[in-house]
Amino acid sequence: ILENLLDTTLPTTGRLFPTMTVDKVVKRYAFLRRQLPELQGTVYHSTRKWFITQCERTRTPEHFTASIVGHQSARSENKLTYGLYSAGISDAQKRGIIDQIKIP
């Protein structure tokens, strides 16, 4: 389903969306909104909000979700330990989180 929505084949290893940019995603969403009546009246951030909500409901740690959606992680108060020295969660961890999310 996701591959059809995004009009791309998802890789089996590495980054889930290696060629996607925000601009491409927003334009694709606008195209789909014109094609699918159930998306009328929604905006791209509606799906972003839905995804973040689903991550919370599957008990995904907030800093993992932040890493996936491109928000700055608030893992430590001074952001020094993880913010400076950590490479963040792995692509495999991100894929595992995304695989838990069920598209209605």
Strand ranges (E), 1-104? none
Distance CA 2, CA 13 (A): 16
Tens digits of per-residue pLDDT, 61-92? 988 888 888 776 656 565 667 777 778 888 88
pLDDT the model gives residue 60:
92
Domain ranges for the chain? 2-100
Distance CA 57, CA 84 (A): 29
C-alpha 69: how far from chain center: 5
Whole-structure pTM value? 0.61
Under 8 Å between Cβ of 100 and 60: yes
| 18's tokens | 């290696």
